[in-house]
Chains A and B, each alone.
Chain A
Amino acid sequence: MSVAPAATADRAFVEELFARHHGEIFAYLLRMVRDSDMAADLAQDTFIKAYKAIDTLEDRAKARAWLYQIAHRVALDDIRHRRLVRFLPITTEAHGAAPSAEHLAMEMRLSGPMARALARIPERQRAALLMAEVGDLTGLELASALSVSHVAARALLTRARESLRQALADEKRQEKEREAAIDAAFETKTRSSGPRSRAGAGNSKGTDR
């Protein structure tokens, strides 16, 4: 049994693409869908789709933007799919799987304002920003990846930057408010229980934390 030379060359080309770009494609997808396993699945999907559609790549010098284009579509498809289908675990454990207050607090504290702001802006804008700023795609490459004109890509990028700027400012403001509220609550508690805390060897502090 033999493999057609063209098929072998295509396969080798896709393997080379994978070797060169799988890291950045995975990073892009992870920031789009915010789930590492999902991002890995989508990255896998991206390269398989690329292999299937290798004949549509006219200029192999532009393969990187083409890969981003596929990854972008794959990500948007997934995000739309997840909007339509709300996954609910069908298990007896489902009732116990609701996020705890601690977990929610953890999420708020531990994902930075930038990550939260990025998650708030529209997907297409997020995609444009990630490809341009993180993926370092040129304007033409970005336009190709987004399947829009160069002018439209630039406009999208401008809107994305403005959206992110506002979202980021909002996130930082909210974070300050939360910190102020925590500080105020802590001060109130310290004042009300100060003498007892000092006398009581600080046990309540351990509990509170």
Chain B
Amino acid sequence: MTTFDRSAIHERARALASEAIDEALSPEDAAWLAAHLRICRECKAVAAEYRAIRRELRGLRTPEPPRDLWARTAAGLDAVDAQRSRSSGARTAGRRGFLAGNRLAFARAGAAGLAATVVALAALTGGFWGDASAPAASASPGTSGIPGGNQNPVAVVGGNGYWVAPSDGGYQITTGSAECQDATGPCAVGNGGSVVMASVVSSSSVSVSVAPDASQAAVWASGKIVILPLGGDATEPVSIDLLTPRATATAAPTPTATPTPTATPIPDSSASGEPTAESTAGSTNEPTVTPEPTPRPTPVPTRPPEVAPEPVAILDGYRIVGRAPEFSADGEWVAFSARPIDQTAGADVFVWRAGWDLAERITDSHTALFSGWLGTRVLISDFVIPPAVEPPPDLEASPSTDASPTPTSPPTPTPTPTPTPTPAGPVPASFVYDPVSRLSSAIRRPMLLPSVDPTGKYLIYWSGRVAFNSESGLWEAEQGDLYFESWSRLSLQPVEPGQLAAAVSLDSQGAGQLLPLGLGPGTVQRWIVRWDAQGRNVALWVGDPGSTESGRVTLFRVDQAAGRLETESVLLSAAALSNVAFDESSLVYTMPDKDGRGQTYIVPIPEPSPTPTPTPMPTPTPTPTPSASPSPSPKPDLTTAPPGRAAAQSARAARQSPRTA
């Protein structure tokens, strides 16, 4: 037998070994293969490897498609229908897909301290931490994913509804009056006498974040972030795909080489527009700042607010990560975190100011997340390894760190007087960045995504263990809890680039008022914090384990005198989809039902006696469930679901009864 013959024999054996995995071989082939494998160890090993490959491939975790996939697809199908109708001379009546527009929820509009409250309905899509091609559980105020369907409400500003509707292959942002049947009946975003505020066209799904005064919107799609004026010449559709950033960034300052974090004390709150608040128990509103005499970077020149007169692509080739873009309270700035669309780097935080051509990147760690606005300053969270003062007992005993990169370069360790055990891995660290002065101050207490109330007095933050998610490429909350704290009790430290880790003090970890929200200690992984405009009530949504959108919303009142949350008597506790919102003095949330549809409720927050009446607000689905309408109740029990949703809630209520105090 020649070498060629032997090679052909082995090839045949391997081909048959492969075929045998997929289908039964003929008796002759099966016998031949069995005989060959008995005498050929190599082919036998290869056959075993083929089978192992099959097992390994079949064992791969099935990725979950984005929640808005149907809505996006339905929009495309609608466009095909419309095209066919035009070509055949007949108009196709608009129709909804079986899911389009059903998974809607409100997201609070406007950052802390907004003059005008904007409520946005957001399609629930994607994951909490992952790239936010459309806002997900982390949807920022005034945000909405835009799926298909006929109407997708975006916002309510001053009683006027804003929504997005597919139109000729694109989308229209339209406004009109909100319509309610009666004082207690269902409300819907009105569609009579509507005015088109803007038209956009994009080959991919579009997401919108509306400015507090609804004069402009941030739109992101196709790897671009675009500032779109509302109310101008809306007849001309804006093609997101064709928009490119202007060639020269005349207004935007050149990013510094190491933009974050920079140093020196934070500016005076009165000068920077920091919301002032009444003194609590003799404390000032501003946290303690350790001054550090370092040279100040050149501040960004002050320029008058300017609304982009025409659509401007402020970033290209990037995808929004984490929280959706959010306008500052004065509407002059937009901040967001994004990462390159080709995933060649992680997430960094960007800011854009009216009049700038381009957004400016203000972090360079590739692990930073936009946390929110604090007046005119940006709250940013990052992940650092704080200086160690005791050697870890066993370096190999921290697999999460070994398996993950160092998120930021740790500083040269500086021993501290009080030894503190080194954490098993990175810890979340947050800092305040002033985009005008470009100065940063680290919050010394480790915390992730702090949310400060509109008055600047209180904050709620997450603290716990973080882990790296290899799928999203982001660090995430793994095991931790939410805490309430007075802003004045925090300590800020001006930081130089690379000093963020050194500024973090593990001594203060765990301080603050622990909020009993999860299924037990350390079970909060996904959450949303929504303050009312006065900072007197706060709604906290905590996601159910393993779900990106379902969870429970709990409404607390802030005990202003004691400086704590009244956790003993919650105002409301109900199953809810992942976006909750405050529309002025009302809490808006969407309760899920078993088929994935949601019913939106508006709950007024009365003063001083918390006896709100839930008012159902159907999603713009044409066929609202009749049973969704609540039966009038003089004193509804807010700790239970509104009437008509008992079936959907019963299982959850039984499961989570300890939380419905």
Contacts and interface: CB of A to CB of B under 8 A. Distances in A.
B381 interface: no
Contacts of A2: 90, 93
Nearest to A162: B14
A207 B53 contact: no
A167 to B, nearest CB: 10
Contacts of A52: 80
B138 interface: no
Interface in A86-100: 87-94, 96-100
Contacts of B316: 89-91
B340 A109 contact: no
Interface string B188-211: 000000000000000111000000
Contacts of A154: 15, 18-19, 22
A92 B318 contact: no
Contacts of B64: 23
A203 B385 CA distance: 12
A188 interface: no
A13 B419 CA distance: 66
A1 B412 contact: no
A207 B412 contact: yes
Interface stretch (B228-236, B342-350, B618-626): B342-350
Interface stretch (B402-410, B539-547, B652-660): B402-410
Given A26-B65, A205-B392, A44 B73 contact: yes
B69 A40 contact: yes
Contacts of B389: 201, 203
A1 B93 contact: yes
Contacts of B49: 165
A114 B315 contact: no
Contact of A103 (B56, B319, B346, B403): B346
B28 interface: no
Interface string B348-373: 10100000001111001010000000
B468 A92 contact: no
B395 interface: yes
B252 interface: yes
A105 B81 CA distance: 48
A209 interface: yes
A43 interface: yes
Contacts of A209: 385, 395, 401, 406, 410
Interface in A24-62: 24, 26-27, 30-31, 35-37, 40-41, 43-45, 47-48, 51-52
Given A43-B65, A103-B346, A201-B415, A91 B245 contact: yes
B57 A114 contact: yes
A23 to B, nearest CB: 6
Contacts of B305: none
A19 to B, nearest CB: 7
Contacts of B252: 92
Nearest to A208: B410
B391 A19 contact: no
B410 A165 contact: no
Interface string A113-146: 0100000000000000110111000110000000
B485 interface: no
Contacts of B468: 106, 110
Interface string B410-437: 1111010001001000000000000000
B62 to A, nearest CB: 5
A156 B60 CA distance: 22
B18 A161 contact: yes
Contacts of A185: none
Q: How large is the interface on A (under 10, 10 to 19, 20 to 34, 35 or more residues)?
A: 35 or more
Contacts of A207: 387-388, 410-413
B391 A202 contact: yes
Contacts of B50: 161, 165
A30 B62 CA distance: 10
A129 B341 CA distance: 27
A15 interface: yes
Contact of B340 (A89, A198, A201): A89
Contacts of B54: 133
Nearest to B61: A27
A149 interface: no
A168 to B, nearest CB: 7
B226 to A, nearest CB: 13
B322 to A, nearest CB: 15
A205 B388 contact: yes
A184 interface: no
B383 to A, nearest CB: 12
B41 interface: no
Contact of A23 (B65, B403, B407, B411): B65
A143 to B, nearest CB: 11
B597 interface: no
A23 B390 contact: no
Given A106-B404, A202-B422, A47 B387 contact: no
Contacts of A138: 22-23
Contacts of B23: 138-139
A158 B50 CA distance: 9
A129 B57 contact: yes
Contact of A92 (B254, B340, B473): B254
A155 B15 contact: yes
A24 to B, nearest CB: 8
A51 B391 contact: no
Which of A15, A23, A91, A162 has the most chain B CB within a 10 Å cutoff?
A91
Contacts of A133: 53-54, 57-58
Nearest to A93: B361
Nearest to B411: A207
Given A23-B62, A40-B133, A96-B361, A90 B317 contact: yes
Nearest to B425: A209
B358 A89 contact: no
Given A40-B205, A90-B317, 12 more contacts: A30-B63, A36-B63, A36-B66, A37-B319, A40-B133, A102-B405, A102-B406, A102-B407, A111-B470, A154-B19, A162-B46, A205-B395
20 contacts: A3-B93, A23-B64, A31-B60, A36-B131, A40-B205, A47-B73, A47-B77, A48-B76, A91-B245, A102-B406, A114-B56, A155-B15, A162-B46, A197-B391, A202-B422, A205-B395, A206-B388, A207-B410, A207-B412, A207-B413
Interface of A: 1-3, 7, 11, 14-15, 18-19, 22-24, 26-27, 30-31, 35-37, 40-41, 43-45, 47-48, 51-52, 87-94, 96-100, 102-103, 105-106, 109-111, 114, 129-130, 132-134, 138-139, 154-155, 157-158, 161-162, 164-165, 168, 197-198, 201-207, 209
Which 7 A-B residue pairs are closest in the complex by CB-CB distance?
A202-B391, A89-B317, A206-B388, A203-B413, A110-B470, A26-B65, A102-B405
